[in-house]
Amino acid sequence: MMKNRSRQMTDSINRAPHRSLLYALGMTEEEMKRPMIGVVNSFNELIPGHIHLNELAQCVKDGIRLAGGVPMEFPAIGVCDGTSMNHIGMKYSLVSRDVIADSCELVLMAQPLDAVVFIPSCDKIVPGMLMAAARLDIPAIFVTGGPMLPGSYGGQRVGLSNLFEASGACASGTITECELSEWEKACCPTCGSCSGMYTANTMCCLTEAMGMALPGSGTIPAVFSERRRLAKQTGIQIMKVLEKGITARQIMNKQSLENAMRMDMALGGSTNSVLHFLAISRECGSPLTVDDISRIAQTTPQLCKLNPASDLFITDLNEVGGISSVIKELSKGGFYNTDCLTVDGTIKERIQGVGGSDGLVIRSHTDPYAKDGGLAILKGNLAPEGAVVKKGAVLPEMMVHTGPARVFDSEEEATEAIFSGKINAGDVIVIRYEGPKGGPGMREMLTPTSAVAGMGLDNSVALITDGRFSGATRGASIGHVCPEAAVGGLLAYVNENDSITVDIPNRKIQLNVSDEILSQREPAKLPQRRLSGILSRFEQLADAASNGASMNRVQHSTPNE
């Protein structure tokens, strides 16, 4: 890392034009002598998890100024997965992750600031900024927007996943449209990332677990004053990180990446975390494989079950000590590397004096929900390069399931069939041509999975796709099937009523059709698509899901500075 990067804009006679432009911003001569700190703010008025980020950005900037730095804020885009679900907009969601990483790199290389504070909140924004931090390898720290409080309906706490399931219940006649309307008004009562252990909160928690954010960043609710104080402390802390010369990749190394995945398994996080950490690790120069993740999953106990897997929420985890308490409990069993560096010391230093299990929200490592993690990597002839399932949110009766394939070439086709009552108990729904290239964009499909659950079929129906499932998904929903149908994966050769077996305990996913019969089949025709713009570029450049589905396939070294 080049120290005093900002001097490239302020030092020497031939930087007079640069200084003139900085004066035009209202900067003083004294400020030009101080460290300049980027503040990447993903505020927008489209996403509940981002609507309040201007407040946090101001707190971060206050902290930077208190510690003697000069904050320089710039924006990042964000896509709301909830409102882009189940229409063409979801094709753009994963793509935005790489765009965010690229845009942060562009600004921070063109304007060489000394360090950076990232302020994300939701699904693709957190991993996109982590990818940028690793790629740039300058002093960096994160403070996320925090989770929203759970809603309340009918005397019970509810999250967004419950509402998606309520839509299925309404379609099947279990509840009325009037009841659905009341439910939807009560489900999301505050700003913040959606209240369950969905993708946004999973990624926020894993950012803290990896050491790139201060304790509490993953779990303190968005509306708490404590979140504002944390943002101010983050602004102060980035100056200490800069002073010590600690860069992002010194923290984001192989050991801390594995720590993050162990936390993922302990929490029973979103399946999307697998995709994102495969991509993040490549930017770090320490690429994880699906086999690495499978090893970690099989050797890490699941200590927490939060919504959608139970009626506990992120707020409950925060009240019993949050991520630090989970780390402490994992470390008691030797499941966590506590020597890893963080933005404020080592993990070991961070968890001194922290309690571990409370017995309810966080179970003891000697009495876990399961001896293996909340996610599982499956392999077999349908997915020789891997597929992923949120094992901790699968009903016991669906851990092993064999049934006839019901084959659909898009999410829309499958959703129509589910809402029309055409899916029967015992079926295996196959949704193909929704992978990185086939979609393109690898859509999340919370609507079909939630409809299945809302109609009471989650105890008898499995879903398989080369696309993705939301972190709010529960049930036997297997995603990221690789290789995908669009590049010749076996998924393209599945016929209606073929027998498929899902065996989660043994990590198997198998099409029960002989090689002889399969050799006589032609692949299903890829649906016609009219691609342009960023989707066309993504379709051409996207890597396989087993590598993180990024448009940037090259392992990056530190940019020339």
| Interatomic CA distance for residues 524 and 526, integer angstroms | 6
Strands 36-41 and 499-503: unpaired
H or E element in which residue 327 lies: helix 322-332
Q: Which positions ≥6 away from 181 have C-beta within 8 Å? A: none
* CA distance to 237, 322, 462, 501, per residue, from 60 (Å): 10, 22, 45, 51
Whether 470 is catalytic is: yes
Q: How many CB atoms lie within 10 A of CB 23?
A: 13
Strands 400-408 and 428-431: parallel
| Interatomic CA distance for residues 1 and 5, integer angstroms | 9
Q: Strand, helix or coil at 463?
A: strand
Q: What secondary structure does DSSP assign to 90-152, as a single string?
A: GGGHHHHHHHHHHHHHHHHHHS--SEEEEE--STTHHHHHHHHHHHH-SSEEE----BPPPEE
Backbone angles phi, psi at 237, to 5 degrees: -70, -35
Cβ–Cβ under 8 Å, residues 260 and 297? no
| Interatomic CA distance for residues 457 and 341, integer angstroms | 46
For helices 446-454 and 160-171, what crossing angle results, to 10°?
60
Choice among 193, 286, 470, 477 that is catalytic: 470
**Could you tell me the two tokens for 58?**
């101001």
Strand (E) positions, 28-85? 36-41, 70-75
Residue of 336, 113, 68 whose CA lies nearest to 211: 336
Residue of 306, 233, 320 whose CA lies nearest to 268: 306
Q: Give all strands of the β-sheet with 428-431 in edge-to-edge order.
A: 376-378, 387-389, 477-479, 462-465, 428-431, 400-408, 499-503, 508-511
Cβ–Cβ under 8 Å, residues 289 and 343? no
Strands 499-503 and 400-408: antiparallel
> Catalytic residue positions?
470
